[in-house]
Amino acid sequence: ALLSATGEKYPMEAWDLNMNSLFHVLNLAKGGQIKKVFWPSSIAVFGPTTPRENTPQHTICEPTTVYGITKQVGERWCEYYYNKYGVDVRSIRYPGIISHKAMPGGGTTDYAVEIYHEAIKEGKYESFLSEDTNLPMMFMDDAIKATTAIMAAPPEKLSIRSSYNLSAISFTPKDIANSIKAEMPDFKMSYKPDFRQAIADSWPSSIDDSVAREDWNWSHDFDLNKMTSEMLTQLKKKYKA
């Protein structure tokens, strides 16, 4: 998919890519060539009219980004293909994902990946979101764990065929900077919000994922400090090699 920030630069390309790729897969599954479909949705389905704290599974979704619109519409189509054609489609609304392997690619939550790379390379980072922007996030290992768990769940356990809320940790740029400073006391953080601030401000700060926890026993392993420690350890190795 084209993610939230890139999608705002290329709206029609984002619409074409994000929707047509889903239809190709759903139609292959409808034709019997694919047995089970996983489709990633996102916290971007929510918008400024959504309750921001502990956002419920079923709530107002009025996204303001093209990316969010494609994810919301995609969720509707996933559920439609399940109800109408019996396609076994499963989906998660991912929060911002943080990985030391995948480089950031056009998202609003990318600052939380870039910051670790810059901390190791430069000892400083300029955040494109303001210091108190609280967003739902997750370490990649937890995202993989959730994805394999939902795909392994018996179909009768899944009460949601649009997309599940999923949550692990919420933090602000200031929180992540403090967590890095605990390991690298000389790390310097500065703030220069750009157009991505408005996108972040339209998203929830925390997510109620109790339905996922109930239906397929979801639980996360990484909190902010554990993630920071793993990110810094792995990236130190990467940049020394």
- Site residues, ligand SER (CB under 6 A): 3-4, 42-44, 67, 94, 96, 107-109
Question: HSE on the CB side for 196, CA within 13 Å?
Answer: 20
Q: Which is nearer to ligand SER, 89 or 129 (CB)?
A: 129
Q: Which is nearer to ligand SER, 85 or 195 (CB)?
A: 195
| C-beta of residue 99 within 8 angstroms of C-beta of residue 65 | no
Tokens of 192: 């220069």
Which of 22, 160, 5, 169 lies closest to 92 in space, CA to CA?
A: 160
| C-beta of residue 174 within 8 angstroms of C-beta of residue 132 | yes
Buried b (16+ CB within 10 A) or exposed e, 163-174: bbbbbbbbbbbb
Least separation in angstroms between residue 120's CB and ligand SER is 21
Least separation in angstroms between residue 114's CB and ligand SER is 12
Residue nearest to ligand SER (CB): 107
Q: Which is nearer to ligand SER, 4 or 127 (CB)?
A: 4
Catalytic entry in 10, 67, 94, 125: 67
Least separation in angstroms between residue 28's CB and ligand SER is 24
Tokens of 169: 């940790």
DSSP state at residue 207: B
* Active site (annotated) includes residue 82: no
Least separation in angstroms between residue 40's CB and ligand SER is 8
Q: Which is nearer to ligand SER, 37 or 45 (CB)?
A: 45
Q: Which residues are catalytic?
A: 67
